[in-house]
Structure 1
């Protein structure tokens, strides 16, 4: 998997799925509609400011709350290439991997606006703004395969075709 590189958007501890995408927007299954309202409760302008490839860095317990799958879908569809946090709610972590959104557990030093380069295969995060390097546990081959295929369902369909 190629490195991801993007601008950092920082968020506090305990960002729950209602903050990521409010319940009032769950009447649609259109990912673009969800992305238009992503992180609105924390930053009403976030969806218009975030760029393709940008990276969210959160604190402890990112994605807590309900098990809504729309939360990682909204983040990914908004263009975010990865979410890094000190810890994740288990169901959010699994939902993110299932749709092909890399989620990385790490405690790194960043400021909003910094530029990060993330290589989950080699286990390295480089803050290009401060020139600091952080080691993370590299993702294993199976996890990389799921992410490279765009999620668990896509990986299954690919493997089914190969049989």
Structure 2
């Protein structure tokens, strides 16, 4: 169970972490500036186990890996959207951050609502209602369970 932080459509990677912060040497230093242009209090208010949700085309823009990395570093448990930019989606899987397609969730929640994710069932529960989400294939779920693609490959080596 965690709080949801709701954003709209076409949230690009520069809105997730602006380019001037990419000069910082570590993701730990960058994470305090996550969503700074959309919600100046996001990095202060998000807690480990919370969720980010958006409508369409989340993570569009550049292919910067730091965008999902700052979310994971802040403890975001998963990102929900109706659709994702392909490279953002792959970057999430690569670092072990679940990116889950959920068509109806954003129409029924607001920032601050408590939600619960059941990845095994492919559902998210908000306000006592279950919303169907894309259930990840077993091979992607295994990659996430091992902490991402690199961690998964390292374990196989």
TM-score by length of 1: 0.91
Deviation at 1:49, TM superposition (A): 0.6
Alpha-carbon distance in structure 1 between the residues aligned to 2:27 and 2:41: 18
Deviation at 1:121, TM superposition (A): 1.7
Is structure 2 residue 134 aligned with structure 1 residue 144? Answer: no
Alpha-carbon distance in structure 2 between the residues aligned to 1:63 and 1:136: 18
C-alpha spacing 1:91/1:20, structure 2 compared with 1 (3 Å): same
Superposed, 1:93-104 pairs within 5 Å as 93-104=89-100
DSSP 3-state at the match of 2:33: coil
Return 5+ residue gaps in structure 2 as ranges: none
Partner of 1:159: 156
Alpha-carbon distance in structure 1 between the residues aligned to 2:25 and 2:55: 28
Is structure 2 residue 56 aligned with structure 1 residue 57? Answer: no
Partner of 1:66: 62
Partner of 2:116: 117
The answer to whether the 8 A contact 1:16-1:65 is kept is: yes
Deviations 1:30-73 (CA, angstroms, capped at 9, x unpaired) = 11112111111101111001111100010100000000000000
Alpha-carbon distance in structure 1 between the residues aligned to 2:134 and 2:77: 18
Return 5+ residue gaps in structure 1 as ranges: none
Partner of 2:36: 40
Alignment size in residue pairs: 154
Q: Let me know the Cα RMSD of the aligned residues.
A: 0.9
Deviation at 1:29, TM superposition (A): 3.7
Alpha-carbon distance in structure 2 between the residues aligned to 1:112 and 1:8: 5
DSSP 3-state at the match of 1:41: coil
Alpha-carbon distance in structure 1 between the residues aligned to 2:25 and 2:96: 17
Deviations 1:81-124 (CA, angstroms, capped at 9, x unpaired) = 10000100000000011000000011212111111111112111
DSSP 3-state at the match of 2:11: coil
TM-score by length of 2: 0.95
